[in-house]
Amino acid sequence: MKNSTRLLLIASSLLFIISCGKKEEKHIEKRIIIKENNWIDLTYTFDSTTLYWPNNVCGFEHKEDFKGTTPGGYFYSSYSICTPEHGGTHIDAPIHFAKDHLTVDSIPLSSLSGRGIIVDVSEKALKNRDYLISVADLQEWEKANGEIKTGTIILFRTGYGQFYPNREKYFGSALTGEKAIPELHFPGISPEAATWLVKTKKAKAVGLDTPSMDYGQSKDFMTHRILLGANIPGFENVAHLDQLPLKGFEIMALPMKIGGGSGAPLRIAASVMEMEELK
């Protein structure tokens, strides 16, 4: 057999192998589409049951200004509200613990929306009311679920949302006023984990299902100082985190736009993407 003929046969064989490989590759290729988005409300209703920090001098007030039939014969209702900035499901703006940092009205929308994940520490936290979420908890999440991407909104599930709005079970004490502060016992984020989220992950925002990002026994509120000092807003008293998967959802968190506010009531929701494989 001439060399030119042999080379032609070899080339033909290679093309056949490559072609088969491509066909096989196409055969195993999967196409995924988003079937629908399911919205989950992560906000507690603001009403007479809303929980505020124990030393707040007032709670949520909803005053009826008018409700009934007007002289014109049509129904009309209008109310006035009064509320501290920090209570119920709310946002901590950076200026809350960081001088000259972002106020509620100046937080960019890009910091309030985007990809979210749930770090579930409820098994540990429910056994220890003073549990501090650690760097190891975050690294364990990555080992099981993949790397936490830069600019993710991190939500921590401690399991304490099940106690809201029972003050004693949620805060660890039924007391109110200054005398309650030393008696507070609930989980929070350790300063080390906060630093890791700032330096390693550049988190967009951080939230959890407890009254504070710092644990109840904190005296220096270092976690607040670290996160808010990096202009990372915090979401506190976030509801229904048990209804979310660990990943695969988007967050939209829109606070009342209070000019110069250090915090504000927050409406936060998650869009969970239901995937479907095309055959």
**Domain membership flag for residue 91:** yes
**pLDDT at position 273, please?**
80
How big is the chain, counted in residues? 279
3-class secondary structure, 50? coil
How high is the pLDDT of residue 41?
Answer: 98
> Residue 33 has what pLDDT?
58
Structural domain containing residue 41: 34-46+85-278
- Low-confidence residues of the chain, pLDDT below 50? 1-28
Q: Which of 25, 54, 13 is nearest to 212 (CA)?
A: 54
Q: Does residue 67 fall inside a structural domain?
A: no
Q: How far is CA 81 from CA 37, 71, 76, 78, 265, in A?
A: 33, 25, 17, 10, 12
Phi, psi of 28 (to 5 degrees): -95, -5
How many domains are contained in the chain? 1
pLDDT for 183 = 98
| Per-residue model confidence as pLDDT tens digits over 129-181 | 999 999 999 999 999 999 999 999 999 999 999 999 999 999 999 999 999 99
Give the separation between CA 190 and CA 222, rounded to whole angstroms: 8
Assess if residue 194 is contained within a domain. yes
Which positions ≥6 away from 174 have C-beta within 8 Å? Answer: 167, 168
CATH of the domain at 141: 3.50.30.50
pLDDT digit string (tens) for 17-28? 344 444 444 444
> Would residue 65 count as lying in a domain?
no
**How confident is the model at residue 37, as a pLDDT?**
84
